[in-house]
Structure 1
Amino acid sequence: MKTLLRIMLTAAGAAIAAQAAAQVTFYEHPGFEGRTFVTNAPVGNFARQGFNDRASSVVVRGERWEVCEDARYDGRCVVLRPGNYPSLDAMGLNDRVSSVREVSRNARIDERRYVPAPQAAQVTFFERNGFEGPSFTTQRPIGNFARRGFNDRASSAQVQGDRWEVCERARFNGRCKVLRPGQYASLAEMGLNNRISSARIVNANTRIDDRRYAPAPVTAQVTFYERQGFEGQSFTSQKQIGNFARQGFNDRASSAIVQGNSWEVCEDAQFNGRCVVLRPGKYPSLTAMGLNNRVSSIRSVEANARIDDQGEGSDQSAHPFHRRQNEQLYEANVTSVHAVVGTPEQRCWVEREEIAQERRNVNVPGAIAGAIIGGILGHQVGGGQGQDIATAGGAVAGAAVGAYIGRDGSGQPVQSRDVQRCESIPSQVRPDFWEVTYVFRGQSHQVQMTAPPGSTVTVNAQGEPRA
């Protein structure tokens, strides 16, 4: 009997413990930041908790939870497995959660109702900017990068699943910064380029002073421009576009700026036809990659996707002038080179300017004041009738002088005012690019280069530049 009772108590304790472990924590901001709301029981209306339509990230523990955009588990609902979700935006529920409840352990859920499994907390460091070169990935704390052969070598990073603290010295010493989940194409802005020696995950419930965070990672987006050199009308997207015609920008892009992540651009709709991958950076011309006025669809490339460097659809855009396999090269004569610099700066200042008025505008108040003062001075000269004459003469002379007070040397009346003057100062920075014209097989070609060319340009059989 005692044994049976002990078993029953143990089972009940396990059930209670399992129930207590089932918990969900919502955060007001992405990356587990801001105010929080924690529950281990169903909540039919977040408005009663003061948290309606405010959740932007979530941590799920113990069991699955169903979250819904309307109260009483109505509207669109999705099921979250245990894990850390640094953003609810991908599932379309950012600032839209109104109710939540635990999913029974034995309940069978259609796979289509699940959101993508949360990413494991990990960080990948790259030797060069833009996620290039040898890389090093970890899901565990690393107290000394020297033991991994990667000390002071990291220049860019990709953070997944949770926040990570990176430090410039071993054992998490020296200056440290906290990286939120996202893509960091360069560590230079936070002063840690080639200076990271240790890294460790930050617990989801740990509150971090805002001053310890690195600058927020750049949102993955691409901007296309109608003309070369980032001129003309533009079109920006942070999501895949299967048909540019619906955006009114089909076959119109001539230059592009890529931020935060790589993007695949294709010459036909629905990601068909010839496609190339653009890594983060500025592309003043799409001509060299054969896509000038030919882009019809785009989509973001997963951070961990491996891109083939050979043949069509390869990452030729990051090195648009590189020689292709077995490609025969020629030399074309350069006919003109124009350095394109930034817009001239404008320097302005304010100075006082005197403006002459027309002669007919006599200074009447000045004449009256002059007459009075001249009369007083003239009255003090001589006596009797001579004094009267001096007084009259002084008044006349004083009036004449007073009438000309406020005039310039030519007798013209003047008035002063503040005038703003500006002048253009040529930009002192290095040219943005060089616009090069060359001739190959009797045909003129143009290309934009990041460095000045020599007397010739290396090209392929089609006249496309190569290096």
Structure 2
Amino acid sequence: MKAITKAVWAIVVSAATAQASAEITFYQEQGFQGRSFTTEKQIGNLDRFGFNDRASSVSVENERWEICEDARYRGRCVVLRPGQYPTLAALGLNDRISSARAIGRDQRIDERRYAPTPAPAQITFYEDERFGGRSFTTDKRVEDFRRKGFNDRVSSLVVTGPDRWEACEDIRFNGRCVVLRPGEYPTLRGTDLSDRISSVRKSVTKAPAPEPAQIAFFEQEGFAGRAFTTDKSLENLRRSGFNDRASSAVVVGNRQWEVCDDARFNGRCRILRPGQYPSLAAMGLSNSISSVREIGRDARIDERRYAPAPIAAPNYRQRKDERLFEADVTSVHAVVGTPEKRCWIEREQAPQNENQVNAPGAVLGALLGGVLGHQVGGGTGKDIATAGGAIAGAVIGSRMGGNGSPQSVPQNVQRCEDLPHQARTEYWDVTYTFRGEEHRIQMASPPGRTISVNAQGEPRT
């Protein structure tokens, strides 16, 4: 009797353990990017977890899961087998999942309820072009193709599943390497790796992180004075020491923000789209903002609630799947002085400020990834502002006048022999060359020996 009891108990514990290991992870963006939410328990309403109608890709572990477009497992539902689903668009459930629950191991499911089986992460090599001749398939890294009898023989290949693979011309992932995205490659002539692949592994290059949704307020117009940045909703800015103090703002990311002149999102409110607002006076909110909150991606907004269109903010962050190169830095100058005077000085002379928390250049640099402006070729700092879309204000020395029009300060400056009294480094003027062409950028901090750029020579962070 005791033996039977122990056996039954072991089965119960084993089943409970298996069920507990069932796990599903939702991602806000396709390709397993953006904010994520993981659960091992059934969720009758994802709205309670701030993830209702937000999932665009899913990863399922160990057990099957049912996902539904309505709360409490209603509406259209689909059963997912264990695996990775880089997009839910093909299932008609992109940004539409409201509930999810694990399916018991012994529960029978009609085949018509299943989502298409996710493709396994693997790569298949072919000896001839257009997938002809001898083939070789692997789902693991291979550091030496000679052991597989396939060294320098690959002329075409197929990548399946959500992962990217890195193929290299030398063993142990040395020499020239190319990252291959999922898909069919009937010929490798365009990659210079035809009959030259000697090793392969899943790509270790991470996709760029999505740009965070943030809003920055500045105490003065033109993005000057003390600054305050947040990525969360705040119902009372008094607690942050910034109540009724904002005169300009910058919104980054792909989300909108609502700003109100009373606490708890009351009083007069306006919606700010992503971009730059060098003055809040035009919308009647200068020195009047008391609360701020992020607006949901699917929220419907009356056009009359929007603030006047902002100035487009430059975006130098790496795009998804964008290939990067390293360009050699040829010169670096620090720009210092008061708003009425600018001096070019060498990097070694630049004053190092102990506290950059509220420096406009530091705040804007953090928002934009460190690059404040870019242009191809020579010119002045003013040209960079025009050609590259650099942030205005304290960073490049322009200010908003009383009538809202920009007033430029002197741009053609001389190198300073002595540091200005109580000078502060406002930004760094950097020159680099890429493919024989000269580029200039303004940065919030000094660069290294190289700058990361895309194929067009544009800076990337």
Q: Same fold (TM over 0.5)?
A: no
Q: Rg bigger for which structure?
A: 1
TM-score using structure 1 length = 0.39
